[in-house]
A and B are shown apart, each in its own frame.
Chain A
């Protein structure tokens, strides 16, 4: 009778080992999510209702689209910037430039979103550093200087903050591409840019996708940047959520908006899972 007892005891130990992790996920992730769902669909009398969603769409359809557009555009630009930097780090011909770039590009990783937002405010404002430089160098007239603190500012802040993250992942993956693969292509007449497009990128596609999906989801949830750069309508959904709660104490609509954000994030998750499934099949 010792063997079944042993198995039983083994199972108990296993459960005990994962219990803390399960408890954390359950308490801090699953429970709030379920609560959020419940609140979003519950009327004043406790009945089921779609009223909060109707309200959300009535007031915030523009903001939802604005959010999606900003995040998609940022994701695209992040991809391009990351490919350019990681590509140069992998294929660049000047070791010194590569070393400097490798050292420089990571800095934004260590800067919180709220600080990034503040930096952009001073950088992109009408009297900001960017316009000072442009006017000083004679590129624009002082009168035509305009503030970039609208959707453009948000995009710039997002790309500035997230591109290094994707670059970090991408440069790692590119470094793992066999150097002979690159040499073989150059040997057959491919210039560096062709090597990047034909040989390197196809082999790191998966990593790029994962990095972009993670950035997409991260940017959806950032409050500080839109709040500091562009708090007026149209703005991002996170600002609306904060406004519903802090000004109106309106948790049901805030929760409905959160669930809608979750639906947007799910688009990214679908891409991610598809890629993961394809990888499993590939093996």
Chain B
């Protein structure tokens, strides 16, 4: 059975080099999919293409099997929540929420009823007659969500809706939004550059890099089994080393060793251990890097250390304080290493 929302080989170029390059993505009914990537990667363009604000060069966007790629935005049945909320300042909260229904020629009392329902759903009861300019950031965000949900869209599109909020409000709303989405079972596509947001909010994540989807999967899968060095780095495994994997399963660092295959290794700073300097060498179990603590940063729950080791620099998390300049070694369990083949020799 085909997916509810299906994007096939979508290419968008704005007349220059492609911003989206033959992107394909399937979203099931009731699913929340996060489009994750750094700014300029094309994730917002993909969202805007689904909404109809960007005309693709080629490819298809299907909702329940119907190609909507060339319909105007107003005929698509998608509802978008914007980064700036885009609430209309000359209208009240109720008028903002009810606008889409007015465009669908609903009767007045039906609109009023639906507005009340939305206000209740979003815990904004009694706010209907207020001007949107009098609301806090969190409340505006809810009104924007209510405006999008009121029309019961086929697909809810969210363009970094939390990025203008305080950290604390963001955390709260994140859980609220997820609970709400699951409760009403709406299909949603969520654009973000925040991996934590993507992990906590979505059923599946599509990681985008320079106009291509590089990996799609459940949050756990993306987090633990990234298929490329880019995804590993983006998901927080930002320590990167060039290693040589020798025939007997042991590691060697540096370029001196002959034989074996070159790999790019990524690991998270909290998966490694900082140990006193010793003569221990890498084994089949652990990768051991000898080095010197170059910088220490207090991060609340322990410390983060920048360790200069074997010509590379890695970050390690440790609970105790170690003075800068102390010789130390970094121990990375084999299981915490994410290894990727190297296509080309490092310069």
Residue ranges of A at the interface with B (Cβ–Cβ < 8 Å)? 178, 180-181, 183-191, 194, 198-199, 202-203
Contact = CB atoms under 8 A, between A and B. Distances in A.
A179 to B, nearest CB: 9
A188 B99 contact: yes
A58 to B, nearest CB: 48
Interface of B: 51-53, 72-75, 78-80, 82-84, 86, 88-90, 99-100, 103-104, 147-148, 151
B133 to A, nearest CB: 10
Contact of B151 (A185, A188, A194): A188
A189 B151 contact: yes
30 contacts: A180-B83, A181-B88, A183-B51, A183-B53, A183-B73, A183-B80, A183-B82, A183-B86, A184-B80, A185-B99, A186-B52, A186-B53, A186-B73, A186-B74, A187-B52, A187-B53, A187-B73, A187-B74, A187-B78, A187-B79, A187-B80, A188-B100, A188-B148, A189-B74, A189-B75, A189-B103, A189-B151, A191-B74, A199-B88, A203-B88
Contacts of B75: 189
Given A186-B74, A189-B151, A191-B74, A180 B99 contact: no
A189 B89 contact: no
Given A186-B73, A189-B151, A194-B103, A202 B80 contact: no
A190 B90 CA distance: 17
B74 to A, nearest CB: 5
A181 B86 contact: yes
A260 to B, nearest CB: 38
A150 to B, nearest CB: 41
Given A187-B80, A203-B89, 5 more contacts: A183-B73, A185-B88, A187-B52, A188-B148, A190-B74
Contacts of B84: 178, 180
Contacts of A190: 74, 99, 103
Given A183-B53, A194-B103, A198-B99, A188 B88 contact: no
Contacts of A202: 88, 90
Most buried by B among A181, A186, A187: A187
A145 to B, nearest CB: 44
A180 B140 CA distance: 15
A240 B83 CA distance: 60
A188 B147 contact: yes
B53 A203 contact: no
Contacts of A191: 74
A100 B133 CA distance: 37
A191 B104 CA distance: 11
Given A186-B74, A188-B99, A178 B86 contact: yes
Nearest to B99: A188
A111 B168 CA distance: 59
Contacts of B51: 183, 187
Most buried by B among A181, A184, A185: A184
B238 to A, nearest CB: 33
A180 B82 contact: yes
B88 A189 contact: no
A53 B171 CA distance: 74
A198 B102 CA distance: 11
Given A183-B53, A183-B73, A183-B80, A188 B86 contact: no
Nearest to A203: B90
Contacts of A183: 51, 53, 73, 80, 82, 86
Contacts of A188: 74, 79, 99-100, 103, 147-148, 151
Contacts of A189: 74-75, 100, 103-104, 151
The 4 closest A-B CB pairs, nearest first, are: A188-B100, A189-B103, A180-B86, A184-B86
